[in-house]
Amino acid sequence: MDEEPQETAIKDSVGNVLCDGDTVTIVKDLKVKGQAQSIKVGTKVRNIRLVEGFDGHDIDCKVDGFGPMHLKSSVVKKV
Contact (CB, 8 A) for 77 and 24: yes
- Residues spanned by the domain of 29: 1-79
**Number of domains, the chain:** 1
Q: What is the pLDDT of residues 29-64, one digit of tens each?
A: 999 988 899 999 999 999 999 998 789 899 999 999
Whole-number Å distance between alpha carbons of 50 and 10 = 8
> Is residue 18 very low, low, confident or very high in pLDDT (cuts 50, 70, 90)?
very high
Helix H or strand E encompassing 68: strand 67-72
Q: Give this prediction's pTM.
A: 0.85
> Is residue 26 very low, low, confident or very high in pLDDT (cuts 50, 70, 90)?
very high
Contacts of 73 (CB under 8 A, 6+ apart): 10, 11, 12, 13, 18, 58, 59
CATH number of the domain enclosing 77? 2.30.30.40
Burial class (CB in 10 A: 0-12, 13-18, 19+), 53: middle
